[in-house]
Amino acid sequence: MRRLALTAALLLAGSALPALAQDAPPPGQRVFRTQCGACHTIEQGGRSGVGPNLHGIVGRAMGAVEGFRYSTNVRAEAEKRTVWSEETLRAYIANPKAVLPTGTMPYAGLRNQQQLDDLMAYLKTQG
The CA distance from 95 to 22, in Å, is 33
Render pLDDT for 66-118 as a digit per residue (tens, 0 to 9): 999 999 999 999 999 999 999 999 999 999 999 999 999 999 999 999 999 99
In a domain, 4, yes or no: no
Say whether pTM exceeds 0.85: no
The number of distinct structural domains making up the chain is 1
In a domain, 102, yes or no: yes
In a domain, 6, yes or no: no
Mean pLDDT of 114-125: 97
In a domain, 109, yes or no: yes
**Helix locations, the chain, DSSP H:** 2-23, 27-31, 72-79, 86-94, 96-99, 113-125
Supply the pLDDT for residue 93.
Answer: 97
Residue 109's domain comprises 26-125
Using pLDDT thresholds of 50, 70 and 90, give the confidence band for residue 12: low
In a domain, 9, yes or no: no
Q: Confirm if 54 and 123 have CB atoms less than 8 A apart.
A: yes
Mean pLDDT of 39-60: 96
In a domain, 63, yes or no: yes
**CA distances (Å), origin 53, targets 15, 24, 66, 104, 110:** 39, 23, 10, 15, 19
In a domain, 115, yes or no: yes
Mean pLDDT of 35-59: 96
The CA distance from 9 to 34, in Å, is 34
Supply the pLDDT for residue 25.
Answer: 85
Q: Is 83 exposed, middle or buried (0-12, 13-18, 19+ CB in 10 A)?
A: middle
Does 24 or 103 have the greater pLDDT score? 103
The CATH number of the domain where 62 resides is what? 1.10.760.10
